[in-house]
Amino acid sequence: MNFTVSGRLRALAVAGIFCMGLGGLLLHAKIHWIFKGGEFQPTNLVPLVATLTSVLIVTALFSTGRHSATAQLINGMACIIGIVTMTHYMIVELDGAYSLKAILIYGTLADSLILAGKWALGQMLFEIDLDRAAGRGLNDRAKRPAYWRYLRAPWWGFHLAAMGGVYALGVLVF
């Protein structure tokens, strides 16, 4: 067990990733249960598989510390897909009745913000592990490996916009 400051921060962040993933799994089980009215709903398997992946695989990869880049890629893409699809769900469910109250209370904005927090925890774990692998402390801003720039916030922002745009185009065309 690593009892350094970064080790304790890692443990807390991994626990946070696990709890957010488990909370998402339970929320999806309540909202998108795979059996509704006694009938199997195959489309509800997607949220189930995504949240099971988040709880089991992403947590396990982050726990090792050596696979943080892979874990953050899976975590980040799952968060982006979740934000995009929940935003679409909110647009469909509100059916044009958009108001601040409707978006804040009845929409999926809170769920999307939880996913954004989950992404931020994963990004923190990635940064801690990258610095640890390079033998640096948390505050050392020495030159980082070239691949580090690909998992920075602008990279994720571009992918959120691109995936959201492709999803919107698919909804409009099909």
- Structural domains counted in the chain: 1
pLDDT in tens, 14-23: 999 999 999 9
Tokens of 155: 């990279």
Higher pLDDT, 135 or 10: 10
pLDDT in tens, 93-115: 888 888 999 888 888 999 999 99
Rounded mean pLDDT of 46-64? 92
Cα torsion 138, 142, 144, 149: sign: positive
Higher pLDDT, 72 or 95: 72
Nearest Cα to Cα of residue 77 among 57, 106, 92:
57
pLDDT of residue 46 exceeding 90: no
Which residue bears the tokens 């020495």?
142
Residue 42 CA neighbour count, 13 Å, CB half: 0
Domain that holds residue 167: 5-173
pLDDT of residue 136 exceeding 80: no
Q: How far is CA 144 from the centre of its chain?
A: 24
